[in-house]
Amino acid sequence: MRYVIFDLETQNTFQDVGSSESSALDISVGTFYDSIDDKYTTVTVDELQKVWPILEQADALVGYNSNHFDIPLLNKYYPGDLTHIKSIDLLEEIRKSLGRRLRLDSVAEATVGAKKSSHGLQAVRWWREGKIEEIKKYCEQDVKVTKKVFDYALKHGHVKFKDGNRKREIPLDTSLWLVREEAVLTHSLLF
């Protein structure tokens, strides 16, 4: 099954746009990992059309808080409807199991010993300062961290987090993650 792990950074914040809807924001950079060719593609907002063929061939989109944030935001730019592609939102899976949300950093550090290199607000500052390469590196690192957590969860059926000084496991039902579902997608490309 072909899956795409992705993350988006924005040009602005919720406070800037006066809304809590991710689709009110504007994308600055996105990174997309394609499981078929084991390749990362990082693009700016002006290059998003380069990733439409990757997304349109995916059997699943994988992210962290992607159902609430990344997919609605990316859908604002995509000429079709990405909600027709199967979605695996790691944060949503964790919340279903644990009953609360956790930051990617705390899950990644406890599960695979990885950390994010920065945070979203810093990426907004970099955008305003024209530091596009910094945003690209940060976004790609986020996707690499998400991929490590995803791979670990698939192999072990759980992820971990630190609860005080001890690590706790969060069981995840990954049995259907790599099962292909029929999707009706409006393609942006002529095939």
Q: Which residues of the chain have pLDDT under 50?
A: 190-191
Predicted pLDDT at 165:
84
- Record the tokens describing residue 123, joined without a space: 């990426």
CA 126 and chain centroid, separation: 20
Dihedral sign of CA atoms 127, 133, 138, 142 in order:
positive
Ordered by start, the domain boundaries in the chain are 3-171
User: What DSSP string describes 121-166?
Assistant: HHHHHHHHTT-HHHHHHHHHHHHHHHHHHHHHHHHHSEEEEEETTE
Distance between CA 70 and CA 94 in Å, rounded? 17
> At the topology level of CATH, where does 3-171 sit?
Nucleotidyltransferase; domain 5 (3.30.420)
Predicted pLDDT at 191:
42
Instruction: Give yes or no for a contact between 140 and 40, defined as CB atoms under 8 angstroms apart.
Output: yes
Question: Which has the closest alpha carbon to 32: 144, 127, 190, 130?
Answer: 144
Predicted pLDDT at 189:
52
Predicted pLDDT at 115:
75
Distance between CA 22 and CA 173 in Å, rounded? 27
Predicted pLDDT at 114:
82
pTM: 0.92
For residue 27, give the 3-state DSSP assignment.
strand
Q: Say what angle helices 120-128 and 132-156 make with each other, to 10 degrees.
A: 160
